[in-house]
Each structure stands twice: as structure tokens, then as C-alpha cells.
Amino acid sequence: MKKVCLILLIGIFMLPVFAKNNFHFAVLSDRSGGVNHEAFKMVVKDINNLHPDLIVTVGDLSDNALKNEYKKAMDVMDKFEVPVFYTPGNNDIVDEKTRKLFIEFTGNKPYYSFEYQNTHFIVLDNSTAESYEDMEKKQKEWLKNDLKENKDKINIYVFMHKPFWADNVAENKNDKMHSLFKKYNVDAVFTGHWHQYAHNEYDGIDYYLAGSSGGGFGKENVDLGKFYQFLWCKVDHDRLNVSIIKAGNIYRDDLVNIQEEKLSYKIVNELIASNGKYLEEEKSLHAEIKIENATQKTINKKLYINSKDNWIIDTESIPVVLKPAETFTKKIKLTKKGNFYPLPEMKFVYPFGRNKKIEYNRGLNIKPKVKIRKSNNQPEIDGRIKKSEWPKEASRFNEFCNNYGQKSQISKTEVLMTYYEDNLYMAVTSYESDVSKIRADTKKRDGNVYNDDSIGILISQNPYKIYQTYINTNSVIWDALIDLEKQERIKSWNGNYEHAVKKYDNRWVMEIKMNLSDLNIDKNKPFFFNIRRQQKTKNKSGFLTPNWKYDSGGYVEAKFE
């Protein structure tokens, strides 16, 4: 029983010790040398959101050691809620007068040391020196004595502005400062000045060059560590873990609430809408635009319609003023002058929530309306498109788009559609520069055909039942019935289709025969469909309409002639 009690007591008394050896600190780098004060404020805000235990700078808060620049910087630094320890840089101290200015604004001496939990921190002043040898003798003697007195500390971290190590230690040259650090068990050295990140380890000492926290660096290059940043450091007993945090990428946990999230989805998918139907024999159409205000504030914005040369629109800018719960509607006239895609784009900034906004930018929802013509001969399903079986009058589609109504980047693709008796026929020719690179891994029915080079089909007459099919170049099929009333995908459903695929030198052809009764399609009523080509060699997809969703209202509208 005594042994158990002893173990428990040891555990109880050791817990606080371990708790004190675990903390976080942030390293704030240069603000000056081409000051971007807004970027600096963003870095400070990010650090505050992470709630470190302390912050250490590596110099250059002021610019040209000017008093007004000190004041501007310190006005931002005052927002920190934890202790800040300042390191002087060459833009902070240039002479004895500005040395006093540094002390006045920061409350720190130019060089000093302090303790935090199990770690000894040393701050050096190399603001006016170009090498360790140039540093004043008094400071070097102080450094040696401080290191000697604290050499047995679990962690020793050194901070200074100029990276002397980069020109000596990194070049395998003798370096007195490095030798001193090595002798007295320094674990890490943090520097700034170059406005670009770097890290190396020499003789067990981690050397860090912190990138800019607001100072200029030319063009951003993440691969070279040239971006606004700070270092986030975790001390776990005798271990140091350092991460580079890019400014503007830290957010509070109340960034978005669930009401805002749901409304943002609704804005894009329901509250802003457009609708128009295009008949090939008619070059012009009218599209209706609708915007609903589901917020508690009046919306007063402009709606913009932008178009390429293939569409002419009668208006490009429409003022929208909407009180809460009101709906705005407007009809616009469009005339097709060239290709169907790209569609005219509708742009609107929808404000909502706590000063949030959705920048809506999508193609107008213009759906082709087509006639499916009858074939005089029954097409043979063999992967060969014969003129005798596919009439000249067959419906033809050769324009594909992406999800936003822009022209798709897939290779040339042609679709033919016809019907014979109670069957719908489709033939899709997919051109490919190198057929040998086609991906077709799936070889079993209802396998992951949709991950291969494939043709996808969505077809429906009842808006609550959608039939989905994919066929790959192995002629393997995946199909399912989507029951929107039951909110389920019935994978066990199989269409009684006849299909074939044939590869050629520069293309592959898919033909399919679909019985209308399998699809619950009444030949006397309109039906809706969309076709997708997945081209894995380009990692691209193309659609007949942008709406590749279980919503037949956005598909091609078709009627049997």
C-alpha cells in the first residue's frame, strides 16, 4: 500500500513540473524596408488569434529609425495581449540617439536575456554591426558570461536581427559566434533582415531566417519563402517545433455560423437564378433573372451581364434594390451570333450575415431545346457509325461546357441521337490524340466506371426519378436509378441496355440502345437529358449543359418528332 501511495504522490507532484515545460511563442519579423503596414497588421491579428504565451521579434519594426514609424508600429503592437520581447534591427537603431528611441518605445534594452518556464532566451543587438567581430566588446563579454551561467538550461534560444550565420556557418567558414553557441549548448538561433525564410541545422543548432512580417520582398514566391509570415514555435520540454504561418490564413472559430453557411448555399443554388430555353431555329430568346432577398437588410447592388462575341444581350447593367423578403425579376433578350458556349455570365454581389458576401459569377441557365428525329432504319449497336443507320436529320451535339457554362477543354466530342420504334439511340465519338493513354481500369459491371475515361448519361421525364449511366472504353457499364422522393440511389437497378464500344487510331466510339419503357419515358411528352465526357488524359470533363446534378430542370429539353 505504501508503494502505491508513493507512486501516486510522485505523479501528483510531477504534473505541474511537466505542465510548465510546454508553451508556444511567435516570432515576428521585419516590418520595414518597403513597409506594407496592412500586411503587418494582418500578421499581428493572426498571431493574436492563436494566443501564444509570448512573442519575440527579430528586429526592424521602425523604418529608417524614424519616431513616427516607431509610433505606427507600436500602435499595432499594443494590440498584443501577451508579453512582447523586442530585438533591435538596422532600421530601429542607427546611432546613439535612435538607441534611446528603441528603449523608449519598446521598454527593452538593446541586448538582454530572460527566462520563460524551462527556456532561456537571449536577445542580441547587431543592428549596427556587420559581423560578430564588429559587435561591441561589452556586449560580447556579456553574452559569453550569460551563456556560461545558463549552459545547463534545458533550452537556450538566441535572437538577433542580421543572419551572421548565413555568410559564415553556411559557407563552412570558421565562426566565433557559432563556436560560442556550440560550446554553451545553444539550441536555436532566430534572425531576420533578408525578408525571406530559410532554415538549416549546423552542429545540432537550428538556425532560422524568418521571412517578412510586413517589409518588402518583391514578387511573392512561396517556394522560396517569400511571403508575409511569422513563425509559430511550440516548446515541448526539450523539443522545439517551428511552423511557418502565411499571413491571412488564421481565422477565429466564429468565422462562420451554421445560419450563414446554410444561407450561403441557398444564395448560390436557389436565391439567384436564371432560366431560358434556346431553340436552334430561333436565334433569339428571352431569359428571366430572379433574385430573392432572404436577409434582414435592404440589398442595393448592380447586376452585371457579361458576354463574349457569340451572344448579344440587350442590357449589361441592371440596378437591383430589394427590401427584406422581396423578389426581383427581370427579362433580358439574348441573340446567338456564334457558338452556344461560352454562355453569358451573370455577376452579382449578394451581402448577408455579419458583413459577409457571396460573389456570384455563373453562366446564365440557358437550356437547349431540341427535337429527336426518327431513323428510317434500326441502327446496329457495334461501335460503328453507319450513314445508312444514322440519318442526316439525327440530332447532333458537338459543343461541351464546364460546370460554369464556359467552353470545355476536352478534345473534340460528337453526339448523335435518334429513335426507332420504342428505343432511343445514342452514339458518342470521343477523339483522343493518343488512344493508348486512355484509362479504363474497371472491368466489372457497376464497378467504378465513372473513374475511367467514360461517357456519362443523365436522363429523366419524371423530375423525381433520374436514370444515370456511365460506360467506359472496356464497354463496361455502371447504372443506377436516383429516386429523389426517397432520397436514395438504387444501385441494384440495371437498365436493359444494348451497348458497344470500339477504339480507332484517334478516337473511340460508344453506341447505346435504351428502351423507353426502361426509362419510364412517354414518347408523347418531353424528356430531359445531359451527357458528360470524362477525359482522364486531360483530367477534364465536358457536359452538354453545366448542370451535372440530379435536377433535370437544367438538362437539355427534348421532344420526339
Give, in degrees to the nearest 5, the angle at Cα 307 between 302 and 311.
Answer: 130
Q: List the domains of the chain with CATH numbers.
A: 21-246 (3.60.21.10), 258-364 (2.60.40.1230), 368-560 (2.60.40.1190)
With beta carbons less than 8 A apart as the criterion, state whether 93 and 127 touch: yes
Query: Is the pTM of the predicted complex or chain greater than 0.85?
Result: no
Kindly indicate the confidence band of residue 358, based on its pLDDT and cuts at 50, 70 and 90. very high
Pairing of strands 188-191, 205-209: parallel
More confident residue, 198 or 491: 198
Mean pLDDT of 184-204: 95
Taking the alpha carbons at both ends of the chain, their separation in whole angstroms is: 94
Burial class (CB in 10 A: 0-12, 13-18, 19+), 91: buried
Q: What is the pLDDT of residue 250?
A: 85
SS3 50: helix
Mean pLDDT of 445-454: 92
Kindly indicate the confidence band of residue 2, based on its pLDDT and cuts at 50, 70 and 90. very low
Instruction: Specify the residue for cell string 542580421.
Output: 162
Q: What is the pLDDT of residue 5?
A: 36
Q: Percent of the chain beyond pLDDT 70?
A: 96
Burial class (CB in 10 A: 0-12, 13-18, 19+), 493: middle
With beta carbons less than 8 A apart as the criterion, state whether 365 and 376 touch: no
Give the chain's mean pLDDT: 92
Q: What is the pLDDT of residue 251?
A: 78
Mean pLDDT of 16-27: 76
Position 122, amino acid: I
CA distance 374 to 115: 88
Q: Percent of the chain beyond pLDDT 90?
A: 82
Numbers of helices and strands, H then E, in the chain: 8, 32
CA distance 490 to 467: 10
User: Above 80 in pLDDT, residue 16?
Assistant: no
Q: What is the pLDDT of residue 17?
A: 42
Q: What is the pLDDT of residue 409?
A: 95
Q: What is the pLDDT of residue 224?
A: 86
**Which three cell numbers, joined as nine digits, stand for 527?**
424528356
User: Above 90 in pLDDT, residue 333?
Assistant: yes
Q: What is the pLDDT of residue 537?
A: 85
Asked, as a colleague might, if the bond just before 163 is cis with ω within 30 of 0, I would say no
Neighbours of 198 (CB within 10 A): 17
Say which DSSP state 173 is in.
Answer: -
Least confident of 89-93, 257-261, 438-442: 257-261
Mean pLDDT of 384-401: 88
The CA–CA distances, whole Å, from 504 to 282, 432, 509 equal 37, 9, 8
Strand partners, 426: 417, 512
User: pLDDT tens across 64-86, in order?
Assistant: 889 999 999 999 999 999 999 99
Q: What is the pLDDT of residue 343?
A: 94
User: For residue 276, what are the contacts with CB-CB under 8 A and spacing of at least 6?
Assistant: 285, 286, 287, 288, 334, 364, 365, 366, 367
Position 129, amino acid: A
With beta carbons less than 8 A apart as the criterion, state whether 208 and 189 touch: yes
Say which DSSP state 408 is in.
Answer: P
Mean pLDDT of 431-445: 93
CA distance 171 to 191: 17
Alpha helices in 51-136 (DSSP H): 67-77, 96-106
